[in-house]
Amino acid sequence: MTAVDHRPTSTEETGVSSTVQTPPATSSEGVLSGGGAAPLVRRRRTSLANALLPVGVLLVLLGIWYAITYLVLDPDRRFLMPPPQDVVTEAFLDGPTMARIGEALWNTVVVSFTGLAIAIAIGIAWAVLMSQAKAAERSLFPYAVALQCIPILALVPLIGFWFGFGFLSRVIVCVLIALFPIVSNTLFGLQSVDRGMHELFDLHGAGRFTRLVKLQFPAAMPAVFAGFRISAGLSVVGAIVGDIFFKQGTPGLGIVLDNFRSRLQGAELFASILVAAGLGIAVFLLFGWLGKLAVGRWYDQARDAG
């Protein structure tokens, strides 16, 4: 007795078409000409838009500046807010004025970076101490908040009486202004490590120092450098505020600003203001670049993926 094979031998016998859909073949030319070109065009458009948007805002600000100068102020009071071309010709293109502003700029840079370095050292140590024990956080963090809330203008005269009116007092003002963002951001970064990573370190018997160096600090780097960027601009403000109030020792941008203000030199005053703003932006961008070097692109990629 022979076995009978009941399996259909062809699609015609079953009456069912067994068509298999295969994806269209793609070639490297198609990828380069179609699939890869669109993202490249989008990236170029995004880069162009990112470059043009600040320029557009600058044009709007210049328009507001011109409107205030020529439409709001009377001609006899126009020296209080001279037009941009007068600032360029009477200040930025004037050799003695720029030499004076340049020397003051260098003195402000020295004071602000010295104060920022001290604030970074104190702020990181303060945050690390609070991150190791809840009792330390409850004991020390209220004083960091109180230091941030105290008006710095009320402390500046006392600092001058206690430490003199020179370089040291200016540095202390910078430290007081720039300290809190470093403390708060560093503490937030150290405490925001995933709980599962802490349990993994517990399984391997890691100590406090190993956990701090190999787990908490690497995870906290984005927050730490965010605090650095904020404090960098605040340190410039502290150096200028100290100059304006102390008015002794090596002149910085604050003393130059105050002198131009008292003499009603509007063009020179606005040039000094623009230089001070440029210094703050440059320091902010510097620490942003340093943050990219320290953290790398993995953080941005992980954030976009999440």
pLDDT digits (tens, 9 = 90+) for 269-284: 999 999 999 999 999 8
Confidence of residue 299 (pLDDT cuts 50, 70, 90): low
How many residues are present in the chain? 306
Q: How many CA atoms lie within 13 A of 99 on its CB side?
A: 3
Give the DSSP letter string of 185-251. Answer: HHHHHHHTS-HHHHHHHHHTT--HHHHIIIIIHHHHHHHHHHHHHHHHHHHHHHHHHHHHHH--SS-
Q: Which of 102-111, 195-204, 222-231, 266-275 has the lowest mean pLDDT?
A: 195-204
What is the span of the domain harbouring residue 255? 101-297
Of the ranges 71-85, 94-108, 213-227, the best mean pLDDT one: 94-108
Asked whether residue 109 is assigned to any structural domain, the reply reads yes
pLDDT digits (tens, 9 = 90+) for 15-64: 444 444 444 544 444 444 445 567 777 777 777 777 788 888 989 999 99
Percent of the chain with pLDDT over 70: 84
pLDDT at 115: 94
Asked whether residue 53 is assigned to any structural domain, the reply reads no
Is pLDDT above 50 for 12?
no
pLDDT at 297: 56
161's tokens: 């009486």
Q: Which of 26-35, 56-65, 186-195, 227-236 has the lowest mean pLDDT?
A: 26-35
- pLDDT, average across residues 79-88: 90
Asked whether residue 158 is assigned to any structural domain, the reply reads yes
What is the rounded CA–CA span in Å between residue 97 and residue 271?
9
CATH number, domain containing residue 288: 1.10.3720.10
What is the rounded CA–CA span in Å between residue 119 and residue 171?
10
Asked whether residue 197 is assigned to any structural domain, the reply reads yes
What is the rounded CA–CA span in Å between residue 256 and residue 284?
23
Asked whether residue 47 is assigned to any structural domain, the reply reads no
Confidence of residue 248 (pLDDT cuts 50, 70, 90): confident
Asked whether residue 4 is assigned to any structural domain, the reply reads no
- pLDDT, average across residues 206-226: 85
pLDDT at 300: 53
pLDDT at 17: 42
Higher pLDDT: 208 or 95? It is 95
14's tokens: 């079953």
86's tokens: 């007068």
Asked whether residue 26 is assigned to any structural domain, the reply reads no
What average pLDDT does the structure give for the chain? 82
Asked whether residue 223 is assigned to any structural domain, the reply reads yes
Helix axes 266-295, 217-246, angle to 10 degrees: 160
Count of structural domains within the chain: 1
Give the DSSP letter string of the chain. Answer: -PPP--S-SSHHHHT-------PPP--HHHIIIIITHHHHHHHHHHHHHHHHHHHHHHHHHHHHHHHIIIIIS-GGGGGGS--HHHHIIIIIT-HHHHHHHHHHHHHHHHHHHHHHHHHHHHHHHHHHHHHT-HHHHHHHHHHHHHHHHS-HHHHHHHHHHHH-SSHHHHHHHHHHHHHHHHHHHHHHHHHTS-HHHHHHHHHTT--HHHHIIIIIHHHHHHHHHHHHHHHHHHHHHHHHHHHHHH--SS--HHHHHHHHHHTT-HHHHHHHHHHHHHHHHHHHHHHHHHHHHHH-SHHHHHHHH-
pLDDT digits (tens, 9 = 90+) for 132-142: 888 989 999 99
Cα 189 from chain centre: 16
Higher pLDDT: 89 or 297? It is 89
Confidence of residue 250 (pLDDT cuts 50, 70, 90): confident
